[in-house]
Amino acid sequence: MTDVVIIGGGPGGYEAALVAKQLGGQVTLVERRGLGGSAVLTDVVPSKTLIAAAEVMTRIRNAEEVGLRLGAGDHQLADSVTVDLGKVNARIRSLAQAQSTDIEERLLGEDIRIVNGTGRLDGAQRVIATTADGEETIGADIVLLATGAHPRELSTAKPDGERIFTWTQIYDLDEVPDHLVIVGSGVTGAEFASAYQALGVQVTLVSSRHQVLPGQDDDAARVIQQVFEDSGMTVINGARAIAAERRGDGVVVRLADGREVVGSHCLMAVGAIPNTAGLGLAEAGVQVTDSGHIVVDRVSRTTARGVYAAGDCTGVNALASVAAMQGRIAMWHTLGDSVAPLDLRTVSANVFTSPEIAVVGCSQTDIDTGVVRGLSMMLPLRGNARAKMQALKDGFVKIFCLPTTGIIVGGVVVAPSASELIHPLSLAVRNKLTVDQLAETFTVYPSLTGSLAEAARRLHGHSSEQVITY
């Protein structure tokens, strides 16, 4: 039997543990906090549960647009709904804990040994786990490092968990903040800004770039920036926050240009640092980058024989789905199952703002810069019958395909539930379907997916390489 030792019980680690067990490995998983990792306990599950509450508020706020009122008078539905943040956050914490327990029970049910402690390498074939009872040395034929990452902190903006928060601490809030200043307009900052704004909080979003969501599809980010501004959020673009400190009952965020932003609370969302310090990597021959990420190839091998790595500690693409796939690939590879190397061109990802942004495959930038020689078709949702019925105004679908063959190589959906709507495009990209195949597939009428088929239809027969934007 192959002894597999995994350090870290997030999606990268626990999914790998299940595959290793399925393939006959003897599996030990060392986890210092709780199964499910940051994904379940502090990052994905809590943030998406908060967003689920915000989505309900958004629907209530939009009720009037479709003709709904509370009672007979002029009273607006949204005015009668108040947010009990203590209750929202208690639900979030308990849901995350329950999910963690579910995962733990699943692993124990599969006879996977769980060691509650902090692991580190002692060479490439041994792991030392520091537990409440002392140190345990565990021999390993194969080691998987899946230790994740933690929020980056600025020395001049130390989170105190009372007024200045990281995204892991914000669920301790019991009362709705009067004015939340969010530093960082990447995916995490934008998602929290969208959620808190929907919950009725005054939000100021400080972004160091010209537009929120740098690195995302430019058209999509523009839609979100506009939606944010229309909702009354203050977005300060092109401003670098250099410090955040408590002042009286509130916080003040200082910007590099000398301005100050005053609020009641502050959320710092300025990136993540891989959990790779103190893991004994150098001694074991595991190479890391300057940023501290573990270097891996497309089957998750590190530079040390028998040592694999998966997830945020590798910096490949900080998504739970990618972490899980890297972990599975590592086990398929090492335990002799058939394996295809990780293909980042097929990854679908979502920004859970309102509306959401979902993407798959190549990007508009790839097309515009010629990295991919392709066509692009963008169709606003405002022409879609279902969108009109649902009073959806913002959003679009976009498809990228190769000229001549029409093979779909990517796409973007900006819509409520874009995370669900992207799937036909993900299937198309993964299976190299053509725009004609997508266009010829029935969609329900009326439906938002009808716009995907329509965009595909408009790409039919376009063999030139011009970019088409409708």
Ligand X SMILES: Cc1cc2nc3c(=O)[nH]c(=O)nc-3n(C[C@H](O)[C@H](O)[C@H](O)COP(=O)(O)OP(=O)(O)OC[C@H]3O[C@@H](n4cnc5c(N)ncnc54)[C@H](O)[C@@H]3O)c2cc1C
The answer to whether the CB of 355 falls within 8 A of the CB of 394 is: yes
Please, which residue, 313 or 456, has the CB nearer to ligand X?
Answer: 313
Q: How far is the CB of 41 from ligand X (least distance, A)?
A: 7
Reported in sequence order, the residue ranges of 192-305 that DSSP labels E, i.e. its strands, are 202-206, 234-236, 241-247, 250-255, 260-263, 265-268, 272-274
Can you say whether the dihedral through the CA atoms of 220, 234, 215, 56 is positive or negative?
A: negative
**Out of 25, 119, 177, 189, the residue judged to bind ligand X by CB under 6 A:** 119
Pattern 6-45, binding to ligand X, x per CB under 6 A?
Answer: -xxxxxxx----------------xxxx---xxx---xx-
Composition of the chain by helix, strand, coil, percent to 5: 35, 25, 40
Is position 126 an interface residue for ligand X (rule: CB under 6 A)? no
Q: Give the integer Cα–Cα distance in Å for 330 and 146.
A: 11
Size of the site for ligand X (CB under 6 A): 37
Residue 146 lies near ligand X (rule: CB under 6 A): yes
Of 60 and 331, the one with the shorter C-beta distance to ligand X is 331
- For residues 27 and 439, which CB has a smaller minimum distance to ligand X in the complex? 27
Residues contacting 11, CB < 8 A, separation 6+: 36, 37, 39, 311, 320, 321, 323, 324, 327
Interface with ligand X in residues 200-219 (CB under 6 A): none
Site for ligand X in 254-283 (CB under 6 A): 275, 279
Residues 23, 15: contact at Cβ < 8 Å?
Answer: no
Integer Cα distance of 55 and 63 in angstroms: 12
Other beta carbons within 10 angstroms of residue 116's beta carbon come to 16
Give the residue with the Cβ less far from ligand X, 312 or 454. 312
Q: In terms of Cα–Cα distance, which of 347, 346, 342 is closest to 321?
A: 347
Of the residues 103, 195, 235, 323, which one makes contact with ligand X according to CB under 6 A = 323
- Cβ-based nearer residue to ligand X, 244 or 267: 267
Nearest to ligand X of 114, 401 (CB atom)? 114
Mapped onto helix, strand or coil, the DSSP state of residue 404 is: coil
| Interface pattern 278-307 for ligand X (x via CB under 6 A) | -x----------------------------
From the list 86-94, 112-120, 172-180, 253-261, the region that binds ligand X by CB under 6 A is 112-120
Q: Should residue 47 be labelled a site residue for ligand X when binding is judged by CB under 6 A?
A: yes
| Residue at token pair 């959906």 | 413
CB of 366 to ligand X, least distance (A): 21
Instruction: State which residue, 48 or 462, has the beta carbon closest to ligand X.
Output: 48
Per the structure block, which two tokens stand in for 279?
């893991």
Closest CA to 21 of 308, 309, 337: 337
Contacts to ligand X by CB under 6 A: 7-13, 30-33, 37-39, 43-44, 47-48, 118-120, 146-149, 167, 188, 275, 279, 311-312, 318-321, 323, 352
